[in-house]
Amino acid sequence: MIQKQVVVIGGGPAGLSSAIAAAQAGARVTVIDENQRPGGQLFKQIHKFFGSREHYAGRRGIHIGTEMLKEAEALNIEVLLNSVVYGIFEDRTLGVIRDGANLSVRAERVVIATGASENPLVFPGWTLPGVMGAGAAQTMVNLHGVLPGKRCLMVGSGNVGLIVSYQLLQAGADVVAIVEADSKVGGYHVHAEKIRRHGVPILLSHTIREARGKESVEEATLVRLDKNWHPLPGTEQDLQVDFVCLAVGLTPLTELGWMANCRCQSVPGLGGFVLHHNDGMETTVPGIYAAGDCAGVEEASIAMEQGRLAGLSIAESLGLIDRTRSADQRASIQERLKELRRKPAFYDSSADLGNREASTADRASLEPLKVGPGYPTEERFQQGPTAIVECMQEIPCDPCAYVCPRGAISVGRPITKLPHLDTGKCTGCGLCIPGCPGLAIFVVDNTYSPTEALLKLPHEFLPLPKAGEIVEALDRYGRRVTEGRVIKVENPRKFDHTPVVSVVIDKRFSNEVRAVSVRRGRHGR
């Protein structure tokens, strides 16, 4: 029997956060993870995180993972990889298989941070090669450098579906469409907007009816749904695709908790059965804690906060930290969790994202309202370059507030407040462009010349345009508006791989163009 003080099962964001918090208080911590590398989902998340400084906001998941592992190493946290915990038995005794050997590990405290698994979706053809979870596709592309196919259909418009769709575009695939059974986008609208800007239609009230192919996926049929989610006859449409990604939710991995006789409860909004816990993340079995998706599927920022909370609670229970200090820190974490869980509200009414064939006359009615807090007036546009913040949904995110050197953008508390632009302070420097995780900030200079405007736009696609190159200027729906002439491409290390392209276009389209395409016809629809 191997004796351990604290054992954390799972080395993802929640597990590492709990291990670090407990170790900082002086606990001897062991992390057990079944993978070859700890970090969980972090090492396939190449996008920038939302949240605040405490949640590594504005940093890419891969960098956050590296940073957390360095911190764990500095705290002498023991990490056992390629190790599977197959059961939790009496007195917090764990059954572990490591390097083919069966080990019994007894821990004074245990954190279950096992995450969640992807949900399947059953339809004719769902077992064909080429039908896969969105997370599986993300693993193939970002960890192994393998593109699952050339033409993708994404099922589900939650953050996973939107983020993976964008990353598939970056890897060179054509995302033919995103289909969503609900009548609204499930994920953050800034994610949806950056997808739309590159010509990907988001078909609301639609689902996949069938996938077909001889040996793998070759074609998929979509169907529109009525308000009761019933298929509407005659609305079927066929798409030529060679892989289908399913982003239809996650299910908490609670099996170890069940085995330990922890109470579980069904919470559909959190993914199904979750591990019941108190304010300190302790389950109904003393000495066993839960953190992350096994306690309810939420955002990575919430998982990290839950991990910190579990680590602090463990340290207090072991007598490593006094109750007053622990209470203050836990209260701060609870306040941040409350902010992160605020239900998103919308500043504008969202358009029908599925309309990809709108005429020029209809275009204005389809675009988002351009009247966010502090949106520049027509007079301000004539005074020089100014930032435009097209973030119209209350989500937990505030990096834009601290990347601006002049303090022209503010968010305040709670961090779900919409960013406010002080146009009097803004100089149009553009540092807020790469600092925005949602790529929702642009700079417009209508004073560039009597007939032309200069736009600064984020562009995370290869190949990067070059100065002097003529590119296609696209609108918010990925449609070609006009041509643009590239003046400069900025991509310093501090931008963290979010290049900013400065392009000159006809001034008449300065409030319409929001993206560029280097390869003609690549993304324009």
The reply to whether 152 and 206 lie within a common domain is: yes
- 84-115 residue pLDDT tens: 999 999 999 999 999 889 999 999 999 999 99
Asked if 437 and 49 touch (Cβ cutoff 8 Å), the reply is yes
Task: Please say if the pLDDT value at position 454 is more than 80.
Answer: yes
Helix, coil or strand: residue 302:
helix
- Is 348 domain-assigned? no
Q: Is the model more confident about 469 or about 54? A: 469
The residue among 195, 227, 246 that closes a domain is 246
- Is 327 domain-assigned? yes
- Is 179 domain-assigned? yes
Helix, coil or strand: residue 107:
strand
The reply to whether 393 and 508 lie within a common domain is: yes
- 58-70 residue pLDDT tens: 899 999 989 999 9
H-only helix segments in 298-353: 300-317, 323-340
Task: Please say if the pLDDT value at position 354 is more than 80.
Answer: no
- Is 352 domain-assigned? no
Span of 15-19, 332-336, 358-362 with lowest mean pLDDT: 358-362
- 477-512 residue pLDDT tens: 999 999 999 999 999 998 999 999 999 999 999 999
The total of other beta-carbon atoms located within 10 Å of residue 437's CB is 23
The reply to whether 298 and 329 lie within a common domain is: yes
Q: What is the pTM of this model?
A: 0.91
CA angle 177–179–183, rounded 5-degree value:
135
The reply to whether 11 and 74 lie within a common domain is: yes
- Is 84 domain-assigned? yes
The reply to whether 58 and 131 lie within a common domain is: no
The residue among 196, 217, 246 that closes a domain is 246
The reply to whether 369 and 460 lie within a common domain is: yes
Domain at 15, CATH number: 3.50.50.60
The pLDDT value recorded for residue 345 is 58
The reply to whether 468 and 500 lie within a common domain is: yes
Q: Which residues contact 392 (CB under 8 A, 6 or more apart)?
A: 189, 346, 347, 348, 368, 369, 372, 418
Helix, coil or strand: residue 454:
strand
Residue from 247, 303, 305, 304 nearest 274 by CA:
303
The reply to whether 293 and 441 lie within a common domain is: no
The reply to whether 477 and 439 lie within a common domain is: yes
- Is 522 domain-assigned? no
> 465: domain range?
360-517
Give whole-number Cα distances, 240 to 149, 207, 217, in Å.
12, 15, 9
Asked if 489 and 464 touch (Cβ cutoff 8 Å), the reply is yes
The reply to whether 130 and 32 lie within a common domain is: no
| Count of structural domains, the chain | 3
Distance (Å, rounded) from C-alpha 24 to C-alpha 27?
7
The total of other beta-carbon atoms located within 10 Å of residue 384's CB is 13
- 388-416 residue pLDDT tens: 999 989 999 999 998 999 999 999 888 88
The reply to whether 290 and 229 lie within a common domain is: no
The reply to whether 300 and 449 lie within a common domain is: no
